[in-house]
A = this chain, B = another copy of it.
Amino acid sequence: MNIFSEKLREKKLKVTPQRLAIYSYLANSDAHPTVETIYNDIKADFPSMSIATVYKTVAALRDAGLVREFNISEDSNRYDAHTDEHAHIICTKCHCIEDYYGGFNMDEDIRRMELVSGFSIESRDMNFYGICEKCRNK
């Protein structure tokens, strides 16, 4: 039995061909695609699929914690099936996005923030903007 089917079932999500396609596509990508991109890339295999299904599916996967949704001040959200805590670095010239899995020493800071704000923090979304190596060498 497929590992992705497994994970969907674990989360009580029905296993449908469309979901499997979208989830495995995301899991095998490190491009942080938008709904539009996912749809275009999968359409070949599922000509009948609607883009509405992609919207619904990524929302379901997000709610189940199987994908991360984030936004870098663009029109549309981006999706990422690599859910272990990591930051994104975005080049303001070529708009490429790089994952950064190195940690941050901010437990202390966050504890202070919880104290000051009264929130209990559960997750975070950190996007860094700058110039990538390629663009700098031009």
- How far, in Å, is A130 (CB) from chain B's closest CB? 4
Q: Which of A101-138 contact B (CB under 8 A)?
A: 102-106, 108-110, 112-114, 116-133, 136
- How far, in Å, is A113 (CB) from chain B's closest CB? 6
Majority SS of interface residues in chain A?
mixed
User: How many copies altogether?
Assistant: 2
Q: Which listed residue (B71, B92, B103, B119) contacts A72, Cβ 8 A?
A: B71
Counting contact residues on chain A (CB < 8 A from B), the size range is 35 or more
CB pair A113 B125 closer than 8 Å: no
CB pair A100 B116 closer than 8 Å: yes
CB pair A117 B129 closer than 8 Å: no
Output the nearest chain B residue to A121 by Cβ-Cβ distance: B130
- How far, in Å, is A103 (CB) from chain B's closest CB? 8
Q: Which 4 A-B pairs have the closest CB atoms?
A: A118-B133, A71-B71, A121-B130, A125-B127
